[in-house]
Amino acid sequence: MYNIHMQNFYDKIDEIILKDNRYKTDAYEFVMRALWFTQAKLKKQGHISGRELAHGIKDFILEQYGPMAKAVLGHWGIKGTEDFGEIVFNMVEKGLLNKTEEDKKSDFKGIYDFDEAFDIFKNNSFEKLGAGQKRQAWNQKPKFSAPKLTKAFPKNPGNKNLN
């Protein structure tokens, strides 16, 4: 178990962004939180694959932002699952995450199509909702109650590996 101290985390993310400014700071924080979410969901404290993480990110962003998920990801600079790999490996390079010898950026490539995964009209999930549920979906607030980031991140349920 470990704590990532907020200032240390953001200092490292600032270093990443100076070198690679494709993604906003929020994208890095979200991917870290999505990693923990995915580990908890899969009941794994060890390694998770790029595919598992990409699907966990999809579940987490939909839970947090509902119909706005794709727009939020786009705002952060994320346009496809390969961007998750870029973010993860940027964090690996700065020591915020670890990887196994088998892990590679290409593990994240083309796992799902963003239009299909995040378009609630295309995948008919919106059509299955009743009128009241549709109003609620449009007005929903994120379900995840993130702790305030004033001192440190919460303890990771696993370890700091991509796992």
pLDDT at residue number 163: 44
**What is residue 56's predicted lDDT score, i.e. its pLDDT?**
96
Residue 67 pLDDT: 87
**Alpha-carbon separation of residue 57 from 36, 63, 86, 128, 151 (angstroms):** 10, 10, 14, 23, 25
User: Residues 6 or more apart from 114 whose CB is under 8 A from it?
Assistant: 70, 73, 79, 80, 81
Tell me the pLDDT of the chain (163 aa) as tens digits: 344 566 789 999 999 999 999 999 999 999 999 999 999 999 998 789 999 999 999 999 998 998 899 999 999 999 999 999 999 999 999 999 999 999 999 999 999 999 889 876 555 555 555 555 544 555 554 444 444 444 445 455 544 454 4
Domain ranges of the chain: 6-139
Cβ contacts of residue 75 below 8 Å, gap of 6+? Answer: 24
Q: Determine the pLDDT at residue 122.
A: 58
| Cα-to-chain-centroid distance, residue 153 | 15
Residue with tokens 């295309």: 122
pTM of the complete model beyond 0.85: no
Q: Which of 42, 15, 29 is nearest to 149 (CA)?
A: 29
